[in-house]
Amino acid sequence: MENIALRVEELLSKMTVREKIGQLNQPETPTEKTIEEFKALVRKGEVGSILMSVGATAGNDAQGAISNEFYNEIQRIAVEESPNGIPILFGRDVIHGHHTVFPIPLGMAASFNDELVKKSYSDIASEASAESVHWTFTPMLDLARDPRWGRIIEGTGEDPYVGARVAESVVKGLQGENLSDKGNMIACAKHYIGYGASEGGRDYHRTEITDYSLFNYYLPAFRSAVKAGVKTVMSSFNDISGQPITSSSYYLTDILRGKLGFDGFVVSDYDAVIQLKKQGVARDNADCAKMALNAGLDMDMHDFCYLDNLEKLIESGEVSEETLNESVRRILTVKMEKGLFENPYCYGGEYDKIVHLKDAEDLATESIVLLKNENNLLPLSKSANISLVGPYATEKRSLLGSWCIDGKTDGMDNLLDIMRKTCEGKLYYSCGYGLGWDSSAKNSYLSDVVVMALGESWSCTGEARAVSDISLPPEQIALIKKIKSTGKKIVGILFCGRPIAMQEISDDLDAIIYAWHPGSCGAQAVCNVLFGDVSPSGKLPVTLPKLATHIPLYYNVTSSGRPVNCYYNENPANCYVDSVPTPCYPFGFGLSYTEFKYGETKIDNDKISLDEVLNGKKIKVSVSLENIGDFDAKETVQIYLRTPVAKWMRPLRELKGYQKVSLNKGEKTEIIFEIGAEELGYYSPQGEFIVEKGIREIYVGENCLIENKKEITIC
């Protein structure tokens, strides 16, 4: 690292102010009309990075395929014809897959399998880096409690601990042990910070987040990403309580660099710098550039505010050259750590697509959550006569989800394709979706069981894709009721990107599989579970509400002063007079085909001094787990904690650990958690970590509503 620092200073001393500003400039890929003008910028050293897509909503807009020849030519001009030969950093939104598409990140979080997530992102990096991509804008670490927000699909849900675990897995999977090694990519933790709290779930809107909530809920995933070595962070569009993140030295410098210790560079989101005018804190473009750079925002994505204005701002003294130098140092350091100066060009790369598809299938299978299974209807016998009904039986594109720019449906199987290969009995298919008569009811009468493939389109999820109602479309609800009238048992498979309202459909379905938008191998993953080749092991990283009107509804809520903690079934009828807002399916919930028997929770020391805790002593919490059912299976054992009395109100439950274990039928094991200062403390509104004396309640089991409470005392 010392050698890199010396190289950076030597290079910096040779650069003009204009060339330095160029390193902060990230335009998007040029069109045929603008290519010559773009190359001229590169020759002058005025392009530091290229956004390898076009448009603000690239995740839902068609993008061109990557040409190594094109990007190598741009790179050649930068390396051979620009004043100091500084290579360009190429960045693309490779969010949950490149050519092989893995489940949407919210689905990945449902797997609770850190190692599989890490391996999947290593696969993703090897594919994208073989096509000139150095840098990807993931992981998205926005805590999200409102499923109306379309970008909830890109994150990990409502829990900061899950977000922190996934952040570490993604960063390490992408960047590897050595960032400069072939097949690794630069990760980018986004959107810093609070974007997931957009008011009403409306994309790009204002947020209100207290510092207490910021440090305890919204920052942990970013803290984890920084600890894991993430090299870049993307600032978010939003303001927090009237202060845009883009222009906030408090958020970008004091907290991100000061309290979290981030030492990489910060890139803006698309056009976020120029948006300071629209947000009402900047008068003109020069004002935007000055405020953003002085706040600690290093690279300007797309809007050219830095390139067009910083030179004059430095001449006038409104921005110091040392401030500019510090941003350039950060960018050059990351480029050197990536090895771009030694290996600026991309000549492709070899990877095993078959292995990647298998990893995608495994992750999709472990992401599937079994929500309901009345009378053990599942798994289905492959010899059963089955009626397959619903619009998602033949759907492919929505299985991939939003934000898969380079994923294609070519050669991909849909659910009907896989079921035709799997079923040994008769398989009847009807779309059942539309006006007038169709064969869905008739086919149902001919079958032993009906499988309904339902869900939401990929096109109503992602950026700028908020919805006002998280219910299934009324046509699909009507279809469920139509099939229900036949009296046949119904298995509902829900291909959804976000949590949906369940009350209107859950009673009419005998079994429910929540498959998310599961990726390239999603149909095979569903059949793995549907027919019992694999026992389902996914757990919900978000709460599924009964009604759309109950949101936001999340488990780690603080206690009301009145006895109306509805999530935990405390007088739920007192929350609304017209409905009961308990969760339909709570955080951490997920069924299996086998039965797991939890033993008594044991604590090795139920009393410990505060000094011992602060000096690193930990409490061991253990529980036995036995598979007493008929299937080999995996279970995610979860540990929750509650602090009944504290200086600041604490959540009724907080996830503090999980372990996913595999047990053959009849097998038994012991699960051990260690609880120390990190788990027992919390952050003050000033960002100070606090561990207080007093009682802690500990819950170990299968979801957030477990009741086998144990207590420890910190004295």
Q: Per-residue pLDDT tens for 623-653?
A: 999 999 999 999 999 999 999 999 999 999 9
- Residues whose CB falls within 8 Å of the CB of residue 304, separated by 6 or more in sequence, listed in order: 25, 27
Q: 128, 147, 149: which is closest to 138 by C-alpha?
A: 128
Q: 551, 235, 493, 464: which is closest to 373 by C-alpha?
A: 493
> Are 566 and 572 within 8 A, CB to CB?
yes
pLDDT at 294: 98
Question: What does the block give as tokens for 324?
Answer: 């500019």
Q: Per-residue pLDDT tens for 522-581?
A: 999 999 999 999 999 999 999 999 999 999 999 999 999 999 999 999 999 999 999 999
- Name all domains of the chain by residue range, CATH numbers in brackets: 353-574 (3.40.50.1700), 596-714 (2.60.40.10)
Q: 615, 604, 702, 690: which is closest to 648 by C-alpha?
A: 690
- Residues whose CB falls within 8 Å of the CB of residue 576, separated by 6 or more in sequence, listed in order: none
Q: 522, 532, 433: which is closest to 483 by C-alpha?
A: 433
Compute the chain's Rg from CA coordinates: 26
Catalytic positions, written as ranges: 269
Residue whose structure tokens are 């709290």: 197
Residue 456 has pLDDT above 50, yes or no: yes
Average pLDDT over residues 662-682: 98
C-alpha distances (whole Å) from 97 to each of 130, 166, 532 are 13, 16, 27
Q: Per-residue pLDDT tens for 594-622?
A: 999 999 999 999 999 999 999 999 999 99
Average pLDDT over residues 46-55: 95
Average pLDDT over residues 170-190: 98
Q: Per-residue pLDDT tens for 242-282?
A: 999 999 999 999 999 999 999 999 999 999 999 999 999 99
Mean of per-residue pLDDT scores for the chain: 96
Average pLDDT over residues 690-712: 97
- Residues whose CB falls within 8 Å of the CB of residue 291, separated by 6 or more in sequence, listed in order: 246, 247, 276, 281, 282
Bridge partners, residue 25, by sequence = 300
Average pLDDT over residues 145-157: 98
Q: Taking the chain, what is the end-to-end CA distance rounded to the nearest angstrom? A: 44
Q: Per-residue pLDDT tens for 345-379?
A: 999 989 999 999 999 999 999 999 999 999 999 99
Model-wide pTM > 0.95: yes
Question: What does the block give as tokens for 626?
Answer: 């036995």
CA distance 616 to 452: 53
Q: Per-residue pLDDT tens for 64-122?
A: 899 999 999 999 999 999 999 999 999 999 999 999 999 999 999 999 999 999 999 99
CA distance 522 to 412: 10
| Strand (E) or helix (H) holding 294 | helix 285-295
